[in-house]
Chain A
């Protein structure tokens, strides 16, 4: 089922990111990721990329998240994808998309450029910014990842535009968080299993207690659901050009929402089965759970995407929800 490119990308990213997480932005690691071609992987070869499929291109993002590596990898990937849609050419990273206004920009102070987005009557306007360091108002998310606000920017006229609805582009950006959550949840499940097999209380490993086994089983169901959610969103992103926004937006919205629910459950179970040690700074669980608590709200919280989906479900024509659901199934590409 998996292409050889996919396995290769997975292997390379695991080699690169394993054991490198937990710290802040690491310029050397960023250079290594750039050398591996990860940030430009979605670009076609003529645009300076590798022409990877979306599944292949998002694989390093998932691995980096599982390793709690703080790099604007997915951000650069998507900014370049949007820029190429608008004919802006390849952008050296790190670079991120940011809606004009007040939103915090991921890794703002480390970015070479920002692709500023504005809602137009038809489509989304893009302008490239090169903000000076002093224009960033520093901030962080719950995991300590930089989320900086750009201050005192004069409004700039868009330099280019993409023929895509703003909500579709928001769904694209949310897919990055969905993929990250899927990676981190699987890593959390892995950490919990190892811990429960090793840690003994009352004379036997925690994993031998039925109450713990059932908690881990629930964690596994959520991890599987989050992985499928991420795969759905990435696959629908891949077919955006052929199946259209009508399929992609609800799929990505559902995926983000479901992965966020899984994140909440996974973090809760993980801390419970780890006991006090999982609550300590020295133990690496919080590197993942704090990220999950952040990512579930970034690029559209559950409530926001739920509102979108509820409206989508309620505005289907007379034949109801079911035909709309099956219309989102992935068509086999010839």
Chain B
């Protein structure tokens, strides 16, 4: 059978020291940030904080030194990311750039793109948006209609992307679009690097169910792109976007989104044990412990240069179930004791964010399709 393997990772003394160093920094840096703000997880935006992380060498960690990176392993990066998320640090500004845009540019970008952009990502001063979904292309990404028409001077980009997190603060978007005639369903696509300051781009907010603004609709109206805006090869867009999604799916952001609520729950529950509640709490802890090791194992495989697509899909599916269960477990455990105002605010934030956990980065149904394909069923 084709089940993926999850070899256990072990931690070196240097990695343990790195974890301690990040933790000590965060204890200091976040001491004034209330839990309700930390509960935003990786949608909390603070450009100053991102720059501070860059100065400490905790962004662009896996990038080569010549591009401003730090030549660290994917496991080292995983440790830093875990600490940031567990603490509820406001990481949204650099999140997309550090997680998926930088590795994409490193792999497919031109030398010029690498030299000009990657050092700024590692410094925590250059932010990215994801240009994949459209109004009529959600899970069915291959139906995307945004098009970059080749001209003598480069490309002309037309179309509209949707659900673009922090497009209103991003310096660049990597836009998945049509560049040619599709000879097959997945053919004729490319990715273009779009400077968000170019004329013809309009960004309008789309509020989420909590009334918060992080999503946007981004329209491109005859945006003139230089020829070097092409990222990777023309026509290779589909393969590139799939490898980009593998980075998007594999990290601890796929099971730690509601960790601040776990912490708050334990803080408020501490002094009132009872059999049914303890069972819920214990199961939650057990699932989290196993998920951490699964996710760490995926990081280890990435560090060895593998592309653990199936393993990443499995971690994301289990991770989203866990994240979404946390508020439900909290309801059962705490019952009437939800009067603590900080707890109540954290709970509401997580409750209202939870539906997105099994949508973003590939819906539960898409992931299960990927797993089924890995099992040889499709």
Question: Assuming A225-B294, A322-B263, what are 20 further A-B pairs, CB within 8 angstroms?
Answer: A189-B1, A193-B1, A217-B367, A220-B375, A221-B317, A228-B8, A254-B290, A257-B283, A261-B283, A261-B287, A306-B282, A308-B282, A309-B283, A314-B269, A314-B281, A321-B263, A330-B8, A330-B10, A330-B11, A332-B12
| A107 vs chain B, min Cβ distance (A) | 28
Q: How far is the CA of A186 from the CA of B285 in the complex (A)?
A: 24
Residues 284-334 of A at the B interface (beta carbon under 8 Å): 302-303, 305-314, 320-323, 325-326, 328-333
Task: Write the residues of chain B forming the contact surface with A, with a CB cutoff of 8 angstroms.
Answer: 1, 3-4, 6-13, 16, 19, 23, 82, 86-87, 259, 262-263, 266-267, 269-270, 273, 275, 277-283, 285-294, 296-297, 311, 314, 317-318, 365, 367-369, 371-372, 374-378
How close is B17's CB to chain A, nearest CB, in angstroms?
12
Does B281 lie within 8 Å of A330, measured CB to CB?
no
Q: Does A224 touch B at the CB level, under 8 Å?
A: yes
Query: Contact at B273–A314, with CB atoms within 8 Å?
Result: yes
Chain B binding surface SS class: helix
CB-based nearest B residue for A229:
B290
Is the CB–CB distance between A213 and B3 below 8 Å?
no
A95 beta carbon closer than 8 Å to chain B? no
Chain A interface residues toward B at CB < 8 A = 1, 186, 189-190, 193, 196-197, 207-208, 210, 213-214, 216-218, 220-221, 223-225, 227-229, 231-232, 235, 250-251, 253-255, 257-258, 261, 302-303, 305-314, 320-323, 325-326, 328-333
- Inter-subunit contact B368/A213 (CB<8 Å): yes
Q: Find chain B residues with CB under 8 A from A213 CB.
A: 368-369, 372, 377-378
**B11 x A221 contact (CB < 8 A):** no
Contact B6 A320 (CB under 8 A): no
Q: Which residues of A lie under 8 Å from residue B292 when comparing CB positions?
A: 325
Q: Which of B1, B12, B297, B372 contacts A214 (CB 8 A)?
A: B372
A-B residue pairs in contact (CB < 8 Å), sample of 11: A186-B1, A220-B314, A224-B4, A251-B289, A253-B286, A302-B279, A306-B279, A310-B282, A314-B281, A323-B23, A329-B11
Q: Chain A contacts of B311 at CB under 8 A? A: 224
What chain A residues lie within 8 Å of B296 (beta carbons)? 329
Chain B residues with Cβ below 8 Å from A333 are: 10
C-alpha gap A286/B111 in the complex (Å): 60
The answer to whether B3 touches A224, judged by C-beta atoms less than 8 angstroms apart, is yes
In the complex, what distance in Å separates the CA atom of A232 from the CA atom of B288?
13
Residues on B with C-beta less than 8 A from A311 are 273, 278
B297 adjacent to A313 (CB under 8 Å): no
Which one of A207, A251, A320 contacts B263 once the chains associate, using CB atoms below 8 Å? Answer: A320
